[in-house]
């Protein structure tokens, strides 16, 4: 009986044939040449703006590296991750789109997939750490006082180790990197869920630890910030104009926090939904022309992240000198 079950499992796995092995050339573009050219120009613009924006953040920060506050150090790390995506990944996809096929072979595919996942995961976990930092400093002011530079460097070491682990796991035989359905880009082999139970466990682990859990932390942090600011409105209404003006800064801070949540969700959730849909659904359940749009949208996140975080950092600088101290005084008065 065990032998029959083993033969059945083996035969069911042999029946599975991923999309990139169903044709002789897995790297041939499945899009029209015109669509590839448009995608190539789009990524070129995104890549240039992302490189300039993140490079500017890193350059300006390096000039005052000894004076960087903990929140600014995290912003620099986010810029490094986004710059890595732009420099190590986008040239490969841009050349391939203009060439109407992936031209770097399997080695280049695996490198591109690893680099995209490594820097993308690092960027997401950095945003998670930043959201927790903002949450502690807004909702638990006492915690913000002991968050020092050496705590941030420990956090950075954890972020890079976390991203390295999950990006390198596929090379240990647990997963792999493979061409996208449209042929001119590479990503995690989401289609392993149809091959074996081990593949399903790997993909589900990736989804939870590299998407669902960080997203939940980000959403929780900013929702708590919004609730904190709303609850402080009634308290501030009874104080003088100076305190009310400080509270206006908190309202502006809340809007920026909402912008960060919206930007993250708009950029990455569609790609995650399409990836899960194509992985767990029937073969070819996602039209190829439709699958390329979320991929291009996700690649744009590296362009506007530094802009958003520079804005929120300025808001925090204002609030740190007035708004947060005011709220702390209000809390002390209430406790007395």
Q: What is the pLDDT of residues 138-176, one digit of tens each?
A: 777 666 556 678 888 999 999 999 999 999 999 888 888
How many CB atoms sit inside 10 A of residue 91's CB? Answer: 14
Q: Distance of alpha carbon 279 from its chain centroid, rounded? A: 20
Query: Does 213 or 274 have the greater pLDDT score?
Result: 213
Of the listed ranges 2-11, 32-41, 273-282, the least confidently predicted one is: 2-11
Beta 177-179 vs 186-188: how paired, if at all? antiparallel
Give the Cβ contact number of residue 38 at 10 Å. Answer: 14
How far apart CA 244 and CA 240 sit, in angstroms, is: 6
CB 118 within 8 A of CB 167: yes
Place of tokens 């991750």: 81
SS3 101: strand
- Between CA 208 and CA 214 the distance in angstroms is 8
Pick from 56-70, 109-123, 186-200, 275-289 the range whose average pLDDT is largest. Answer: 109-123
Q: What pLDDT score was predicted for residue 161?
A: 97
Q: Interhelix angle for 90-99 vs 70-88, to 10°?
A: 30
Between CA 332 and CA 327 the distance in angstroms is 9
Q: How many CA atoms lie within 13 A of 110 on its CB side?
A: 10
Helix (H, G, I), strand (E, B) or coil at 283: coil
pTM, two decimals, is 0.80
Question: In DSSP terms, which residues pair with 28 in a beta bridge?
Answer: 101
Residue of 312 and 136 predicted with greater confidence: 136
Angstrom distance (rounded) from CA 196 to CA 177: 16
Contact 127, 214 (CB under 8 A): yes
Q: What is the pLDDT of residue 181?
A: 84
Average pLDDT on 179-191 reads 87
Mean per-residue pLDDT of the chain: 77
DSSP secondary structure code for residue 32 in this structure: -
Radius of gyration of the chain (CA): 23
């Amino acid at each position: 009986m065990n032998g029959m079950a083993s033969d059945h499992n083996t035969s069911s796995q042999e029946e599975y044939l991923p999309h990139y092995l169903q044709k002789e050339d897995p790297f041939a573009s499945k899009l029209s040449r015109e669509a590839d050219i448009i995608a190539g120009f789009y990524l070129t613009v995104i890549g240039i703006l992302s490189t300039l924006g993140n490079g500017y953040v890193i350059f300006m920060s390096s000039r005052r590296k000894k004076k960087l506050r903990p929140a600014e150090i995290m912003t620099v790390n986010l810029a490094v991750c986004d710059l890595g995506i732009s420099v190590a990944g986008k040239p490969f996809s841009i050349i391939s789109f203009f060439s109407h096929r992936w031209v770097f072979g399997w080695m280049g595919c695996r490198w591109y997939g690893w680099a995209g996942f490594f820097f993308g995961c690092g960027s997401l976990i950095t945003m998670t750490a930043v959201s927790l930092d903002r949450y502690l400093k807004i909702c638990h002011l006492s915690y913000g006082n002991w968050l020092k530079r050496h705590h941030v460097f420990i956090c950075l070491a954890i972020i890079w180790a976390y991203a390295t682990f999950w990006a390198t796991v596929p090379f240990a035989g647990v997963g792999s990197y493979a061409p996208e359905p449209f042929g001119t880009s590479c990503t995690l082999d989401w289609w392993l869920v149809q091959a074996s139970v081990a593949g399903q466990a790997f993909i589900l682990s990736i989804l939870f630890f590299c998407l669902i859990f960080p997203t939940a932390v980000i959403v929780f942090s900013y929702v708590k910030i919004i609730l904190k600011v709303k609850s402080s409105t009634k308290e501030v209404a009874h104080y003088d104009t100076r305190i009310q003006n400080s509270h206006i800064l908190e309202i502006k801070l809340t809007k920026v926090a909402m912008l960060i949540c919206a930007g993250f969700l708009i950029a990455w959730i569609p790609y995650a939904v399409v990836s899960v849909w194509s992985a767990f659904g029937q073969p070819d359940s996602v039209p190829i022309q439709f699958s390329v749009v979320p991929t291009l949208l996700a690649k744009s996140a590296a362009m506007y992240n530094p802009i958003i975080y520079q804005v929120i950092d300025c808001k925090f600088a204002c609030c740190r000198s007035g708004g947060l101290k005011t709220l702390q005084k209000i809390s002390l008065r209430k406790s007395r």
